[in-house]
Structure 1
């Protein structure tokens, strides 16, 4: 059964490239009005144009998730453009890798601002209205390294581990009101953002049973599933889309 999002508005953060862009495309293909969000207006305009040229409905909202005021304005603009937000996909994230001893405080603060604080306050701004309507879906994008220790991933992994716990907490808070909150945990995935990882990305992939790097569309399919009515009975889960890494 193909998910149908006709008449629904979806806000997808970090959707001008990579996994987020593919999520926006798949949601729009299935009828959603997609609000594309990111820092780069040029890439945002290109993403919106690609969706519209394929018959979908999309608008772009520029936002810097490291800035609390920009996060609040993003929620306001999303409601203005969409009328309401039915689906929130917290996809945007920073993923630096460095030994703990070499992490600057500013980098630590920025990662937690984007990966934890921004999703928290977007949910605070948008989930209560979903609860009042008795319907809504929130999908957070985490990572497989939120679940096991990987040298160099202390800041990134711990920030996403926090988001995984928030996923379960929000499911407990909002589930009875009809708002489903779940997460997808990707493994190594080839995107513009991971291009700088070079061969280390392929090295991570060799630790998975699938033994290859994932594709954005494969991760996006899991996110779209969790946002859909097909997943109506699924609350508070973290779905691994990681080539089986967490299964071994």
Structure 2
């Protein structure tokens, strides 16, 4: 690949499962990959594996625990300080249903863990990296969500009553989709697109097995539609969309409720410290069919 056409892509949760598969695929295509992980040994081992298949592509690593928003911000600061450009951000890291789904866990800031890792962390990371993404435009944000979506209950966002890990996961993934639509509308005409997808059903990942489910497909089934959203030139102008694998699909009804999205974003900005939001941001409808 011509170095001038190689993309620089940051992938969160890149040390295993789908994230590792995305990194290997992009590096093999000649793109530069920035690998995020929360375990330094696994992160370096993955980096060596990706370098072995990367040819002339560059591979760099960033260590952070996304359950701690301070570490998320510190990682974003480091990316902005060390990377001259960022063509795509893939928010892939995930907290699944858990091996003990009835045990409610909290993030470093005291938020329900799945809501924090699956929604708050990618939101904070994306916002913090927007100056670099905008300067690198055209650029893309790809949020890895799920077909498993459950309505966000604004009377109990953190699921303090009737907690169950998969329910928390499904609510957090719908929150991610709602935030995708909001950011896409906000960033219209900046050259930064924001899309989200369900990559594949029950991939062979540790999270699926830990929850006690039987995998149905291999990782590669989720890699292909995710990499497509990063690289396909035909999707350059597509933004504010939810894909079920390769199909432009409809998410949960709540994702299209402007009032609910507004409530979620106001709550999100408050939870992450206020400064991450855009004061006075208008709530817009998703950019339906924009390509």
User: Taking structure 1 as the reference length, what is the TM-score of the superposition?
Assistant: 0.82
Structure 1 residue 103, shift from structure 2 partner: 4.7
State the alpha-carbon separation in 2 of the partners of residues 65 and 52 from structure 1.
24
In structure 2, the residue corresponding to 1:176 is in which secondary structure?
coil
State the alpha-carbon separation in 1 of the partners of residues 98 and 44 from structure 2.
30
What is the aligned partner in structure 1 of residue 206 from structure 2? 192
What is the aligned partner in structure 1 of residue 236 from structure 2? 232
CA RMSD of aligned residues (A): 3.0
Tell me, yes or no, if the aligned pair for 1:13 and 1:37 is still in contact at 8 Å: yes
Structure 2 spans left out of the alignment, 5+ residues: 153-163, 252-291
CA separation of 1:235/1:29 partners in 2, compared to 1, >3 Å: closer, same or farther?
A: same
Does 1:106 find its partner at 2:109?
Answer: no
What is the aligned partner in structure 1 of residue 193 from structure 2? 180
Structure 1 residue 132, shift from structure 2 partner: 4.1
Structure 1 residue 238, shift from structure 2 partner: 1.3
User: Taking structure 2 as the reference length, what is the TM-score of the superposition?
Assistant: 0.71
Tell me, yes or no, if the aligned pair for 1:226 and 1:234 is still in contact at 8 Å: no
What is the aligned partner in structure 1 of residue 11 from structure 2? 12
What is the aligned partner in structure 2 of residue 67 from structure 1? 68
State the alpha-carbon separation in 1 of the partners of residues 49 and 4 from structure 2.
19
When the two structures are aligned, how many residues end up with a matched partner?
231
Structure 1 residue 127, shift from structure 2 partner: 1.9
What does 1:110-125 correspond to in 2, within 5 Å?
Answer: 110-125=113-128
Does 1:136 find its partner at 2:139?
Answer: yes
Structure 1 spans left out of the alignment, 5+ residues: 203-212
Structure 1 residue 193, shift from structure 2 partner: 2.9
Tell me, yes or no, if the aligned pair for 2:225 and 2:246 is still in contact at 8 Å: no
What is the aligned partner in structure 1 of residue 35 from structure 2? 36
Question: Which structure has greater helix proportion?
Answer: 1
Q: Deviations along 1:190-241, whole A, 9 cap, x unmatched? A: 023323244x335xxxxxxxxxx12212211111111123311321111113
CA separation of 1:159/1:117 partners in 2, compared to 1, >3 Å: closer, same or farther?
A: same
State the alpha-carbon separation in 2 of the partners of residues 97 and 43 from structure 1.
20
Does 1:164 find its partner at 2:177?
Answer: yes
